């Protein structure tokens, strides 16, 4: 239906520009956060600090926008347009700026990193955060209805952001890379800004007497907000806390279900935002101007939304486990949208109840938005750092449900229900609380198994070990197979003769280097490779960098790797591998090993790009070799073969160096015969089985450039480059194969 009156046309135009502004805003968030992660690491501390910095910038922007909005005669659309253009211009230089600042601040600690990240995104996020209160102030002047104004603007802007999530995950990142995607977002911002300014200039020519031509109620007496503004701030903060806490829990379960796919979080965020948009639109449509007449009804509605959100958020986690057993996990995003719908209803409804539609509406919305963001930030920190670290998915969901339920009950009590209704509500809440606490073990039993094994899950199977912490989720089955973040990540085995995990790869490295003394391992995982390399007969030192200390807990538990903790040659460091290399430019090694993750997983490019390979080259001693897992990705193979002047493929790994590599099987035979792990010989020449295995390994190294896909053997650099040329090069910007939808 087309807008019929001048007020309708203004509202429609305003919604269009705010819808369009939501698209680049979300793109900035996704790309800028990724860019900062590349600089400061993808460990949980860096991720949380960067996300919190982004959110706090938006909060300060909302305060600034609110302060501006109360000034009489303020040209809201003009300011909005200038803010959009400024954000777009900043976007054009943002990635180069981040990189430059990152190079200057490599040694920064966690809190310093947070301050730097905050300063880097402060200017654009303040501009983006200021737009909501400014436009609310403008629309309230037209509609005289706070809830409807907030609801419709929240709806259109969130829909724009949701569309950006899906388009970015499906197309933009894969086709345009980070720089191209940012360029597109910047151009959209500039166009939106110019459009807003043009519309402002047009409105200046419209007579003020025409502003209310379609709505005689515009001159109705001003309504008074019945809800205390202080209570509104508390409720807005609580809504933000609940929303972001559940989002973090959901992000963990979808990461497990998707096996860490790069697209999982944008899809989750897009579904979440669509739900938020739907809830805000629903509330906006049903907010009437005379709030006082139906205040108790509104308050009960708010209470029911809060209660429903908590039940839905709690139930989504075990339900997703059931979904993965019978269908694709992508269907779980529908559950996210439904659960988030209630979250989207809370902020507009709170705004409607505690903000009067007067000249201070924009400023008060700014305060409410800031409170919402502070609650969101607290939810991010508390849930990401504490709850998931000590309580796991099950108890985190349960505690969030109980906490949110208390807020809902308090609202229900304040809504004026009679004593009988209150006692019934309290009794029902008590029964429900006891039920979810006592059934927690049953409801979440087998959740990890379902999310990881999916259709292969059987009700009788349970993992032997599960480690859940703030850095991730690790599971171990009864055969010693390890699943990190939902995907196979190695096995507790160092037996070269009975080789169930291709442990031959680290054992074979002496064929490529005559004297391996100083070793760097990035990514410990099971610790099996680290154990093998730590016991290399020539090794003098081994530095092992691991991002998740949960793996180190497991290495101390299993017999195969238990002795690593007491090995004087080994030094463990908990850090992001790329960041550690950049912060330690003086460290050099004869051998660097990265048994890297699957090329399509989120942030895998951090360890596969040309830029990372160039960083590795700076840390190799003369004649040093780099050995890393390509997971047989053509682009990864092409990147390694063209970045280093010497190298070849061995099984699914690349062996690379700046010096010529000679395969010396005699040296390898000598080393393997000397090899002992925890006092036990790796190869016992007196055993026929061991001798046959030694011969097999030596024979594999003589199989060169076999036709077709071969599991073992060697492929020369020249052959590799020719075969994989069509795949192209992996860079930090194009992100390789991360954004292929699986």
The whole-number pLDDT of residue 49 equals: 72
Strand, helix or coil for residue 543: strand
305 touches 349 (CB < 8 A): yes
What pLDDT sits at residue 35? 86
Sign, Cα dihedral of 560, 563, 565, 571: negative
Domain 1-208 carries which CATH code? 1.20.1250.20
Average pLDDT of the segment spanning 474-500: 95
Q: In the prediction, which pLDDT does 1 show?
A: 45
Residue 500 pLDDT more than 60?
Answer: yes
How much of the chain exceeds pLDDT 90, in percent? 56
Q: Is 486 within 8 Å of 257 (Cβ atoms)?
A: yes
| Confidence band, pLDDT 50/70/90 cuts, at residue 364 | confident
- CA quadruple 690, 695, 696, 697: dihedral sign: positive
- Burial class (CB within 10 angstroms; exposed 0-12, middle 13-18, buried 19+) of 713: middle
Please tell me the predicted confidence (pLDDT) of residue 322: 95
Does residue 219 surpass a pLDDT of 50? no
Within 10 Å of residue 596's Cβ, how many Cβ atoms?
A: 21
Distance between CA atoms of residues 54 and 126, nearest Å: 9
Dig out the tokens for 209 from the structure. Answer: 């007497």
Beta strand pairing status for 481-484 and 487-491?
antiparallel
| 57 band by pLDDT with thresholds 50, 70 and 90 | confident
- Residue 677: pLDDT band (50, 70, 90) is very high
Three-class secondary structure of residue 560 per DSSP: coil
pLDDT value at 214 more than 50: no
In Å, how far are 491, 503, 669, 698 from 694, measured between CA atoms?
Answer: 21, 13, 7, 6
In this predicted structure, what is the pLDDT of residue 210?
41
Nearest CA to 608 out of 619, 592, 596, 618 is that of 596
pLDDT value of residue 213: 39
pLDDT over 90 (residue 68): no
Q: Say how many residues make up the chain.
A: 742
Indicate if the pLDDT at residue 604 is higher than 60.
Answer: yes
Lookup result for tokens 């154990």: 531
Helices 332-354 and 361-381 cross at an angle (nearest 10°) of: 140
pLDDT level of residue 302 (50, 70, 90 thresholds): confident
Q: What does the alpha-carbon distance between residue 719 and residue 89 come to, in Å, rounded to a whole number?
A: 45
CA distance linking residue 596 with residue 738, whole number of Å = 14
Q: Where are the beta strands (DSSP E) in 547-583?
A: 570-574
693 versus 51: the higher-pLDDT residue is 693
* Burial of 241 (C-beta count, 10 Å sphere; 0-12/13-18/19+): buried
Please report where in the chains the tokens 């999916």 appear, as a residue.
454
Q: What is the CA radius of gyration of the chain?
A: 29
Are residues 474 and 467 in contact, defined by beta-carbon separation less than 8 angstroms?
Answer: yes
Q: How far apart are CA 345 and CA 347, in angstroms?
A: 6
pLDDT band for position 710 (50/70/90)?
low
CB 31 within 8 A of CB 181: yes
- The sheet carrying 472-476 orders its strands as 465-469, 472-476, 481-484, 487-491
- Where are the alpha helices (H) located in 205-288, listed in sequence order? 229-257, 264-286
Is pLDDT at 649 greater than 90 in this prediction?
yes
Residue 50 to residues 54, 209, 238, 251, 573: CA-CA distances in angstroms?
A: 6, 48, 22, 17, 22
Q: Which of 96-110, 156-170, 251-265, 396-410 has the lowest mean pLDDT?
A: 96-110
Structure tokens at 598: 């699957």
Check residue 45 and give its pLDDT.
67
pLDDT at 92 over 70: yes
DSSP structure class, residue 485: T
| DSSP H or E run through 655 | strand 653-657
pLDDT of residue 215: 43
| Buried/exposed 179-197: b ≥16 CB within 10 Å, e otherwise | bebbbbbbebbbbbbebbb
pLDDT digits (tens, 9 = 90+) for 265-294: 999 999 999 999 998 888 888 777 677 777
Asked which of 17-31, 215-229, 334-348, 665-679 is least confident by mean pLDDT, the reply is 215-229
Query: At residue 331, does pLDDT exceed 60?
Result: yes
Cβ atoms of 396 and 388 closer than 8 Å:
yes
Judging by DSSP bridges, how do beta strands 589-594 and 714-716 pair with one another? Answer: unpaired
Q: What burial class does residue 688 get, using C-beta atoms within 10 Å of its C-beta: 0-12 exposed, 13-18 middle, 19+ buried?
A: exposed
| Contact assessment for residue 19 and residue 360, using Cβ atoms and an 8 Å cutoff | no
Q: Quote the CA–CA distance of 669 and 594 in Å, as a whole number.
A: 24
Domains 1-208 and 227-462 share a fold: yes
Task: Encode pLDDT of 229-264 as tens digits.
Answer: 898 999 999 989 998 899 999 999 999 999 999 999
Question: Among the listed ranges 37-41, 386-390, 694-698, 730-734, which one has the minimum average pLDDT value?
Answer: 37-41
For the chain, how far is it from start to end, CA to CA, in angstroms?
A: 39
Whole-number pLDDT of residue 483: 96
Whole-angstrom distance, CA of residue 36 vs CA of residue 50: 7
d(CA 18, CA 436): 41
DSSP β-ladder status, 653-657 and 676-677: unpaired
User: Mean pLDDT throughout 411-425?
Assistant: 83
pLDDT band at 216 (very low <50, low <70, confident <90, very high): very low
Domain map (residue ranges) of the chain: 1-208, 227-462, 501-727
Cα–Cα distance between 318 and 311 in angstroms, integer? Answer: 12
Is the pLDDT confidence value at 3 over 60?
no
CB-based contact 106:582 (threshold 8 Å): yes
Which pair of structure tokens corresponds to residue 92?
Answer: 């054009």
pLDDT digits (tens, 9 = 90+) for 170-193: 999 999 999 999 999 999 999 999
Q: Find the mean pLDDT for residues 586-609.
A: 93
Measured CA to CA, the distance from residue 223 to residue 468 in angstroms comes to 51
Q: Which among 290, 332, 27 has a CA at the least distance from the CA of 145?
A: 290
Q: What is the dihedral of CA 453, 458, 459, 463, to 10 degrees?
A: -50
Q: What is the 8-class DSSP label of residue 222? A: P
Cβ-contact 449, 461 below 8 angstroms: yes
SS3 for 477?
coil
Using DSSP, how many helices (H) and how many strands (E) does the chain show?
Answer: 25, 14
Burial state string for 550-586 with b = 16 or more CB within 10 A and e = fewer than 16: bbbebbeebebbebbeebebbebebbbbbbbbbebee
Cross-strand partners of 468: 473
Contacts of 226 (CB under 8 A, 6+ apart): 291, 292, 295, 353
Q: What is the mean pLDDT of the chain?
A: 88
Is residue 4 within 8 Å of 214, Cβ to Cβ?
A: yes
Residue 538 above 50 pLDDT?
yes
Q: Considering the domain 227-462 in this protein, what is its CATH number?
A: 1.20.1250
The pLDDT value recorded for residue 218 is 45
Q: Tell me the fold of 501-727.
A: Rossmann fold (3.40.50)
pLDDT in tens, 680-692: 999 999 999 999 9
Read off φ and ψ for residue 205, nearest 5 degrees. Answer: -90, 0
Cβ of 16: how many Cβ atoms within 10 Å?
16
- Measured distance CA(472)–CA(468) in Å, rounded: 6
- Lowest mean pLDDT segment, chosen from 77-91, 131-145, 249-263, 585-599: 131-145
Contact 265, 602 (CB under 8 A): yes
């Amino acid at each position: 239906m087309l807008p019929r009156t001048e007020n309708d046309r203004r509202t429609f135009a305003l919604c269009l520009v705010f819808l369009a502004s939501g698209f680049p805003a979300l793109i900035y968030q996704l790309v800028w956060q990724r860019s900062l992660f590349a600089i400061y690491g993808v460990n949980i501390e860096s991720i949380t600090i960067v996300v919190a910095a982004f959110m706090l910038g938006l909060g300060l922007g909302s305060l600034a926008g609110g302060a501006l909005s109360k000034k009489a005669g303020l040209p809201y659309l003009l300011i909005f347009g200038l803010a959009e253009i400024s954000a777009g211009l900043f976007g054009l230089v943002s990635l180069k700026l981040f990189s430059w600042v990152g190079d200057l601040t490599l040694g920064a600690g966690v809190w310093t990193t947070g301050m730097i990240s905050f300063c880097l995104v402060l200017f654009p996020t303040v501009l983006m955060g200021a737009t909501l209160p400014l436009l609310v102030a403008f629309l309230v002047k037209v509609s005289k209805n706070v809830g409807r104004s907030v609801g419709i603007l929240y709806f259109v802007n969130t829909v724009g952001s949701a569309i950006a999530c899906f388009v970015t995950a499906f197309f933009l990142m894969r086709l345009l890379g980070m720089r191209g995607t940012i360029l597109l977002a910047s151009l959209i911002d500039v166009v939106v800004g110019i459009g807003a300014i043009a519309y402002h200039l047009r409105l200046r020519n419209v007579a003020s007497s025409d502003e209310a031509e379609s709505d005689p109620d515009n001159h109705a007496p001003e309504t008074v907000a019945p809800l205390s503004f202080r209570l509104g701030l508390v409720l807005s903060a609580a809504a933000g806390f609940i929303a972001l806490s559940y989002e973090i829990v959901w992000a963990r379960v979808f990461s497990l279900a998707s096996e860490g796919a790069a697209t999982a979080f944008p899809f989750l965020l897009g579904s979440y935002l669509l739900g938020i948009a739907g809830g805000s639109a629903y509330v906006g449509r049903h907010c009437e101007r005379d709030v006082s007449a139906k205040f108790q009804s509104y308050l009960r509605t708010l209470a029911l939304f809060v209660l429903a959100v908590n039940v839905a958020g709690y139930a989504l986690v075990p339900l997703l486990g059931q979904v993965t057993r019978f269908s694709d996990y992508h269907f779980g995003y529908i559950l996210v949208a439904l659960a988030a719908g209630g979250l989207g209803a809370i902020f507009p409804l709170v705004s409607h109840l505690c903000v009067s539609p007067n000249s201070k509406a924009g400023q008060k919305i700014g305060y409410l938005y800031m409170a919402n963001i502070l609650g969101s930030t607290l939810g991010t920190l508390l849930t990401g750092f504490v709850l998931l670290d000590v309580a796991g998915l099950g108890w985190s969901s349960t505690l969030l449900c109980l906490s949110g339920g208390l807020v809902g009950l308090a609202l229900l009590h304040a809504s004026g229900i009679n004593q009988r209704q209150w006692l019934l509500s309290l009794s029902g809440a008590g029964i429900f609380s006891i039920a979810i606490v006592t059934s927690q073990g049953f409801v979440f039993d087998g959740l990890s198994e379902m999310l990881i094994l999916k259709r292969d899950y059987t009700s009788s199977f349970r993992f032997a070990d599960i480690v859940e912490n703030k850095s991730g989720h690790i599971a171990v089955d009864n055969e010693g197979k390890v699943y990190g973040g939902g995907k196979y990540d190695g096995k507790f085995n160092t037996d070269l003769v009975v080789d169930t995990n291709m442990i031959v790869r680290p054992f074979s490295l002496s064929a490529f280097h005559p004297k391996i003394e100083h070793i760097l391992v990035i990514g410990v995982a099971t610790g099996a490779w680290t154990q093998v390399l730590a016991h290399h007969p020539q090794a003098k030192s081994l530095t092992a960098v691991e991002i998740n200390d949960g793996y180190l807990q497991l290495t101390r538990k299993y017999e195969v790797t238990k002795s690593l903790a007491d090995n004087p040659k080994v030094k463990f460091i908990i850090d992001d591998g790329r960041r550690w290399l950049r912060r330690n430019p003086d460290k050099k090694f004869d051998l660097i090993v990265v048994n890297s993750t699957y090329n399509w997983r989120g942030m895998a490019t951090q360890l596969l790009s040309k830029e990372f390979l160039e960083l590795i080259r700076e840390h190799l001693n003369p004649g040093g070799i780099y050995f890393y897992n390509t997971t047989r990705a053509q682009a990864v193979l092409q990147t390694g073969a063209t970045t280093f002047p010497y190298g070849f493929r061995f099984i699914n790994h690349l062996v690379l160096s700046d010096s010529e590599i000679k395969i010396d099987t005699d040296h390898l035979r000598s080393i393997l015969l000397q090899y002992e792990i925890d006092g036990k010989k790796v190869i016992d020449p007196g055993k026929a089985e061991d001798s046959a295995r030694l011969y097999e390994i030596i024979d594999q190294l003589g199989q060169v450039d076999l036709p077709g896909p071969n599991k073992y053997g060697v492929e020369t650099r020249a052959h590799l480059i020719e075969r994989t040329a069509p795949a192209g090069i992996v860079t930090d910007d194009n992100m390789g194969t991360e954004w292929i939808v699986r």
